[in-house]
Chains A and B, each alone.
Chain A
């Protein structure tokens, strides 16, 4: 299915959001009728319906366009259509600022991943953190963790993943216009992007940019890269994620229930401007959207403590609840925005706080677990690299199929704050 670009798409979005609010069994009222007067929605439900539409369409103040108008499906549809088409009749409301970037202006030419080369059974990690053996397996579903060897760090893992991606696309580092790096564990200068720039021997005029957001960093980086390509400022960009938690979240510095979840790994993606002469099929980037659900900010906070330890406040239960709720909501919003049914997906490259939560998320989303690549179960939570390693796995599995059998890919993640974001990729 194509992303929403026409009237039918907007109409479908309005009806889908209405059904979500009123219930799937609720009869569809006549399009010109007042939804509140007729009792189809109460005033709270009406606002909730508008909020759902705003979230799904990217029109941030749809309510403003409906002031002094009958709250009907017809008026809602017209307001949404005007807002997204930039029609003059939309007045001062959102118009061009909400226009999506050119669809699939950027493609993923290749990808690569690199994991910490020491594979540690989770029971060994339990013991190191002073927890009963089997706790991580039983409570979080983690079977093993990928830990960096002595000679591995964010730079070496990131560079290894990047070289794989460059090789796969037959791209020399001198072609790169930007290196965009994201990490939640490399906290020194020169920054990771700058060090990767030197390590990969990119040309001097290639930019090096570090993007934050912790576990959301990869999705942030995709959106930044897409913007640079869509605006014509870059043609070839390497996105590199790299995280080595095992040296930061060590026994004695943080509690095992928190530190024991994390592993080490990296991923890299080569993005190129879409043109007509691609040597092979590829995925193109769709739209991305982001936000911050501050009501969950207290669920996770990590800071340096004065004694050299890490002050990690981690309310596991609240965080799990928030993560599932928000990820499911992001998946729902991607589905609405893209018009792509989740049942048709090639896979979902989501954050994987731990395998238990992935199972729960799959259940909540009504999707088979196989749609979520196995990352956290074998390697642990890889922080900003989880989504990247998952996406690399999906791309690899798709590459064994004929391109006309490829399904779309959703990506969604969270970061402390609670930051959230997501987007989609479609065969280009």
Chain B
């Protein structure tokens, strides 16, 4: 049995992709539990910070998703680690401060529209943590997109935000029950309080991921942003 600290839960269409940290030979590394039949989970009742016991077996997933492991018998929750503790572990796992080091390969910009991508056989991993100097969220047709500045000063523009909690927060902010002008209210929040709350947080940290190959390209995504959004922030705008 392996103990897995759940660090990522991302939204992939109707399902969720999950990543956790596993300690192995003194190293902390990312592992992506998948079922024997699918890469994602239609139902995943756990939260980030949960420590789960599970059986993981190697899985020869296609590059760059070398972190994939098959879980045979589901999960058993052992305990929960608070957010700052999760980030402390993430800082000891895969981490990079420059674009070239994120996935150990060249990152290209989309020649047609927005976003960045890598070629499927080039990355040495599909998930990596990073610190940011600055971060901006915006909405494009209700889809949250992130632009961020790495420690190296390089700017990554227009990344899709797939973090389940942040996507859920945005959905909640746009819910009809919240009344009029909710899009503009959310935009105001993203342009003001969001910045303070996220960047001034001592455990501000994020992880970037690569999609599975899609039309022969792996797209960069903002998988996880700490701090996670709090329900009470919805009362502020």
Q: Which residues of A contact B (CB under 8 A)?
A: 17, 20-21, 23, 42-44, 46-52, 55, 61, 63-64, 66-68, 71, 92, 293-298, 318, 321, 325-326, 328-329, 332
Contacts and interface: CB of A to CB of B under 8 A. Distances in A.
A17 B98 contact: no
Given A67-B183, A294-B155, A47 B145 contact: yes
Contacts of B149: 294
Contacts of B113: 17, 20-21, 47-52, 55
Interface stretch (B37-45, B59-67, B80-88, B136-144): B136-144
A17 B215 CA distance: 17
A396 to B, nearest CB: 32
B111 A297 contact: no
20 contacts: A20-B113, A42-B214, A44-B160, A46-B143, A47-B140, A48-B112, A50-B140, A63-B139, A63-B140, A63-B143, A64-B183, A67-B141, A67-B183, A68-B183, A295-B107, A295-B116, A295-B155, A297-B154, A321-B108, A332-B112
A328 B153 CA distance: 24
Interface in B133-178: 139-143, 145, 149, 152-158, 160
A50 B143 CA distance: 11
Dominant secondary structure at the A interface: helix
B157 A63 contact: no
Q: Contact size class for B? A: 35 or more
Contacts of B114: 47-48, 50-52
B183 A44 contact: no
B141 A47 contact: yes
B54 interface: no
Given A44-B160, A295-B157, A298-B98, A66 B141 contact: yes
A71 B141 CA distance: 8
B152 A21 contact: no
Contacts of A52: 112-114
Which one of B116, B149, B157, B214 has the greatest number of beta carbons of chain A within 10 Å?
B157
Given A295-B107, A325-B108, A50 B153 contact: no
Contacts of A42: 13, 214
B99 interface: yes
Given A47-B140, A64-B140, 13 more contacts: A17-B113, A21-B113, A42-B214, A47-B160, A55-B113, A63-B139, A64-B183, A67-B141, A67-B142, A92-B184, A295-B107, A298-B152, A329-B111
Contact of B154 (A17, A20, A298): A298
B143 A64 contact: no
A332 B112 CA distance: 8
A42 B160 CA distance: 12
Contacts of B112: 17, 20-21, 48, 52, 332
B122 interface: no
B58 to A, nearest CB: 29
Contact of A48 (B115, B152, B153): B115
Contacts of B139: 63-64, 67
Nearest to B100: A318
